[in-house]
Structure 1
Amino acid sequence: MKNYDIIFFDVDDTLFDFTKSEQEAFNKVFDKYNLLNSLKLYEKNYQEISKVLWRDLENGKMSLVELGSERFRRLFLDHELEIDAVVFNEDYLGFLGEQSHLVQGVEKVISDLSHKRLAIITNGYTDVQTSRINNSPFEGTFEHIIISESTGFQKPQTEIFDYAFNKLQITDKSNVLMVGDSLTSDIQGGINYGIDTCWFNPKYKENNTSIKPTYEINKLESLLEIIK
Structure 2
Amino acid sequence: MKYDVLIFDLDDTLLDFGMTEQNAFRLLFEEYGLPNGLNDYLGTYKAISKILWDDLENGRTTLSELKVERFKRLFIELALEIDPVIFGQKYIENLGKEVHMIEGVEEMFASLKDFRIALLTNGFKDAQHNRVNGSALKNLFEIIITSEETGFQKPQKEIFAYAFEKLQISDPARVLMIGDSLTSDIQGGNNFGIDTCWFNPTRKLNKTDIQPTFEIHTWNKLAEILKKQPITVNA
TM-score using structure 1 length: 0.97
The 8 Å contact of residues 30 and 37 in structure 2, kept in 1 or not, is answered as: no
- Distance in 2, Cα, partners of 1:142 & 1:85: 33
Gaps of 5+ in 1: none
- Distance in 2, Cα, partners of 1:94 & 1:199: 29
Residue identity in the other structure for 2:14: L
Aligned equivalent of 2:186: 187
- Distance in 1, Cα, partners of 2:76 & 2:99: 31
Question: What RMSD over aligned residues (CA atoms) do the two structures have, in Å?
Answer: 0.9
Query: Does 2:68 correspond to 1:94?
Result: no
- Distance in 2, Cα, partners of 1:221 & 1:29: 36
Aligned equivalent of 1:210: 209
- Distance in 1, Cα, partners of 2:143 & 2:113: 14
Aligned equivalent of 1:14: 13
The 8 Å contact of residues 2 and 173 in structure 2, kept in 1 or not, is answered as: no
Task: Please state whether the residue corresponding to 1:36 is helix, strand or coil.
Answer: coil
1:222 Cα shift?
A: 1.0
Aligned equivalent of 1:199: 198
TM-score using structure 2 length: 0.95
- Distance in 2, Cα, partners of 1:37 & 1:187: 37
Task: Please state whether the residue corresponding to 2:36 is helix, strand or coil.
Answer: helix
1:186 Cα shift?
A: 0.2
1:171 Cα shift?
A: 1.9
The 8 Å contact of residues 19 and 100 in structure 2, kept in 1 or not, is answered as: yes
Task: Please state whether the residue corresponding to 1:208 is helix, strand or coil.
Answer: coil
- Distance in 1, Cα, partners of 2:54 & 2:108: 29
- Distance in 2, Cα, partners of 1:221 & 1:62: 37
Task: Please state whether the residue corresponding to 1:190 is helix, strand or coil.
Answer: helix
How many residues in Structure 1 have an aligned counterpart in Structure 2? Answer: 227
* Divergent runs of 4+, >6 A: none
Residue identity in the other structure for 1:204: R
Aligned equivalent of 2:60: 61
* Deviations, residues 187-214 of structure 1 (Å, cap 9, x unaligned): 0000000000000011111111010000
Residue identity in the other structure for 2:209: S
Q: Percent identity?
A: 55
The 8 Å contact of residues 117 and 142 in structure 2, kept in 1 or not, is answered as: yes
